[in-house]
Amino acid sequence: MTAKLKRACVIGWPIAHSRSPLIHGSWLAAYGIAGSYTREPVKPEDLDAFLDNLAANGFVGCNVTIPHKEGAFAKADQRSPAAEAVGAANTLWLDGDILCADSTDGEGFMANLKATVQGFSAAGRAVTVLGAGGAARAIVHALLVDGAVEIRLVNRTLARAQALAQHFGPRVVPVAWEDITRASADVALVVNTTALGMKGQPALDLDVAVLSEGTIVADIVYVPLITPLLAAARARGLPIVDGLGMLLHQAVPGFERWFGVRPKVTAELRARIVADLEKT
């Protein structure tokens, strides 16, 4: 008897740039699973209808990217604690007729951080997060769960940082952008969640000379793989964590939900995605 083909996808508008099919396709092949993972362009006005017909169209679930993360969260019948904390979802699956939602960006960030910097824990430590968008919300939540005692949230619009601090509680401290140097000087980890340093964007203006010895510098940007911030940190001898690992690790929980196998993020998979990125 032929195994039933399980289908999953990634939805967004636009969606042609997504590397998710390459990631999940590699895992399907590696584990010999009868399944498929495709890109599905979904306009904002079509989101509800697409999700209502997920099972009818043969899908067991999907990843969600811009601009649908908040809409997917609102549409879900059940939400994980991470999705509730972030107010958005990037991973959906069906449990019978119930649409379930999770936010795996924070989990992916922490998994990549701990895989890159062996033995790292945020417990009892202060960290600095630059930016206050959706990725920052996910990462702040994950760092709080990991035990960070203080998260200094630096953002160009202070009111957005203040709103996030109010949402997450007293361990999150809003900081004005002009105080970025002071906020970064004595922390265990600095995370850039802004678009600064991305291809076509200006570099992030942070002097890594102010950072303490051993401060980890992480960037969620992965095009380019080594941003100006990471290059400067590496030149100073600081441990760095690039954004590609977060992209790979955040995909793990969804694949496990849809296809029943928890996949490994391997050097071979990373090299395949790097090769694809270099084509752009």
Q: Please tell me the distance from the alpha carbon of residue 152 to that of residue 111, in angstroms, as a whole number.
A: 21
Peptide bond into 224 cis (omega under 30): yes
Pairing assessment for the beta strands 6-12 and 126-130 based on DSSP bridges: unpaired
pLDDT confidence of residue 1? 43
pLDDT confidence of residue 205? 87
pLDDT confidence of residue 3? 58
DSSP 126: E
Q: Could you list the mean pLDDT of each consecutive 10-residue stretch along the chain, which spans 280 residues?
A: 80 94 98 97 98 97 96 98 96 97 98 96 98 95 98 97 97 98 97 94 94 97 95 98 97 98 97 91
Q: Please tell me the distance from the alpha carbon of residue 200 to that of residue 224, in angstroms, as a whole number.
A: 10
pTM of the predicted model as reported, rounded to 2 decimal places: 0.95
The single-letter code of the amino acid at 272 is R
**Contact between residue 69 and residue 89 where contact means Cβ atoms under 8 Å apart:** yes
pLDDT confidence of residue 4? 74
Question: What ranges make up the beta strands (E) of the chain?
Answer: 6-12, 35-41, 59-64, 78-79, 91-95, 98-102, 126-130, 150-155, 172-176, 189-192, 216-219, 240-241
Residue 69 falls in the annotated catalytic set: yes
In the set 4, 6, 69, 264, the catalytic residue is 69
**Contact between residue 81 and residue 100 where contact means Cβ atoms under 8 Å apart:** no
217 phi, psi to nearest 5 deg = -115, 120
